[in-house]
Structures are given as structure tokens and as C-alpha cells.
Amino acid sequence: MTTTGTLEIDLEDFAARHREAYLIDVREPGEYLAGHVPGAALLPLGELASRAGELPRDRTIHVICASGNRSLRATRALLDAGYDARSVAGGTSAWARSGRETVTGLRPA
């Protein structure tokens, strides 16, 4: 896996494996509803600490937000808690700018 530093995964590398990836979106519900990466489950940053137990410990957790700032904060917190996590560089904005599909509404897929 190509990463930028140890916290991020490059958008192209993520895109190549995103269908199999465990992906959480740490934006607020309104942002998520407006458009998110297919397969991303909503887990707002403010709820991460209380809901981290819902996340798998046996696979890499990919974390995305709008631009990469909140996802980096979430990734650091997950790594500190013993999870294997990577922030998707550039976030949902970069994903959409690259012409990739986004979906609206509550459904992750």
C-alpha cells in the first residue's frame, strides 16, 4: 500500500481497492447526505470515541471526510487506540473532483 507518511493513503491507491475497503466518513450527517463515496459508513468525528468499539480490529479502517483534515484527526485517534487506520488523502472533495461516483442519502452503498 502506498501511503503519504504513515497516516494517509493516496487517492489513487484507495480508489483501486475501495470496493473491498472498510470505509468510514467522519463528516457531519448533512455533509454525508449531500454526497459520499459509495460504501462509506457515516461515523461523525464527534461520535468516534464513543462508537470506536463498533469498528473492526482485524482490518484496515479507511477514514474520509471533506478534504482530509478531520479524517487525519480521526486516523490519529484510531491509531492511538490500537486500530490500523489510514486517512484518504484529499477526502470526498478530491474523490468527486476526480470524476468518481458519489451517492446521496443515508445508504452507504
Residues with active-site annotation? 65
CB contact set of 86 (below 8 Å; sequence gap of 6+):
1, 3, 7, 8, 9, 14, 60, 61, 62, 63, 75
74-77 LR contacts (CB < 8 Å, sep 24+):
74/24, 74/26, 74/45, 74/48, 75/7, 75/8, 76/7, 77/48, 77/49, 77/52
